[in-house]
């Protein structure tokens, strides 16, 4: 569905909900989905699209597992997926990043998610829709995926930009959720929450504002940008923003600090 933008507004999506080649996936909390959701939307639990290998969390599941999941939900090779959530886009963007990593490039994010949709009085329902299973063919795509070894080998490169999307306390090592505190050497910090416009129902901030925010930190389109958080949940929104802004070399780091910060062979930095 080439006519759909990567970032779609509620008013643009509303007349398209009945299109057979479009699938709306809800990644809200289950209790929220039971109370209200977009008509026809299927609920996909976030836990289904991540894997863990303690103490590392937020890993990319194996292609076969994802193929089974996506097939069961009715994501075919030509299906256009529109994802949304109720928390600013982290869950939804993790799904979109996962689709991209499996070679599926036809997708959109609902700008503002459920907040924008419901608060602006678009139709909602409690009725549950049933999936129509199909066949999803995984074609693993390494382009959006950064691995630990990739980062270790690239730390010296001038064209590398590392975006830490965690809170400033996590970045500085004041809050710790892994064995070691701090951040990847050379990384700059921009909390994922700063990408959201709270005055406009958690939409992304205007494009020019986002470009300026990133440019001020040296995160420019000519660089290879890797974004991470604790488990590549928050940084999935960061990855999406980079893609939305046309950054051609944007990658997300599955496992993120739960991987890097729990290893003895990775350098760490604190202010």
Segment 186-228, tens digit of pLDDT: 999 999 999 999 999 999 999 999 999 999 999 999 999 999 9
Beta bridge partners of 122: none
Listing DSSP states for 56-76 in one string gives EEEEPPPHHHHHHHHHHHT--
Residues 6+ apart with CB under 8 A from 87: 28, 113
pLDDT score for 3: 82
Q: Across the chain, what does the average pLDDT equal?
A: 97
The predicted structure's pLDDT at residue 2: 53
Is the peptide bond prior to 186 cis by the omega test (within 30 degrees of 0)?
A: no
Maximum pairwise Cα distance, the chain: 53
pLDDT of residue 271: 79
CA distances 150 to 103, 133, 153, 155, 225, Å, are 20, 36, 5, 9, 12
pLDDT at residue 69 is higher than 90: yes
Q: End-to-end alpha-carbon separation of the chain, Å? A: 46
Structural domains in the chain, CATH included, are: 7-119 (3.40.250.10), 148-260 (3.40.250.10)
Q: Is 60 exceeded by the pLDDT of residue 249? A: yes
What positions carry a catalytic annotation?
229
The per-residue pLDDT for 196 is: 98
Averaged pLDDT for residues 100-107: 98
Q: What is the pLDDT of residues 8-52, one digit of tens each?
A: 999 999 999 999 999 999 999 999 999 999 999 999 999 999 999
For the cut 70, the answer to whether the pLDDT of residue 1 exceeds it is no
């Amino acid at each position: 569905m080439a006519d759909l933008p990567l970032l779609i507004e509620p008013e643009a999506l509303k007349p398209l909900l009945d299109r057979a080649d479009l699938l709306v996936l809800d990644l809200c909390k289950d209790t929220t989905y039971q109370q209200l959701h977009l008509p026809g939307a299927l609920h996909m639990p976030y836990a289904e699209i991540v894997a863990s290998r303690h103490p590392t969390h937020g890993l990319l599941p194996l292609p076969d597992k994802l193929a089974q999941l996506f097939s069961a939900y009715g994501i075919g090779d030509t299906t256009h997926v529109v994802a949304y959530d109720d928390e600013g886009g982290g869950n939804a963007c993790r799904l979109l990043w996962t689709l991209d990593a499996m070679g599926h490039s036809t997708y959109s994010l609902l700008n503002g998610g459920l907040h924008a949709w419901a608060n602006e009085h678009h139709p909602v329902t409690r009725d549950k829709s049933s999936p129509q299973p199909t066949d999803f063919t995984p074609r693993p795509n390494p382009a959006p995926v950064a691995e630990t070894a990739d980062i270790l080998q690239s730390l010296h490169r001038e064209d590398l930009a590392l975006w830490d999307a965690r809170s400033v306390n996590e970045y500085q090592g004041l809050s710790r959720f892994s064995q070691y505190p701090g951040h990847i050497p050379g990384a700059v910090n921009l909390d994922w929450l700063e990408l959201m416009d709270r005055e406009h129902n958690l939409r992304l901030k205007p494009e020019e504002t986002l470009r300026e925010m990133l440019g001020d930190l040296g995160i420019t389109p000519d660089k290879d940008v890797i974004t991470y958080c604790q488990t590549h949940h928050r940084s999935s929104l960061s990855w999406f923003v980079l893609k939305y802004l046309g950054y051609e070399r944007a990658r997300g780091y599955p496992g993120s600090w739960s991987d890097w910060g729990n290893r003895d062979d990775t350098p760490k930095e604190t202010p």
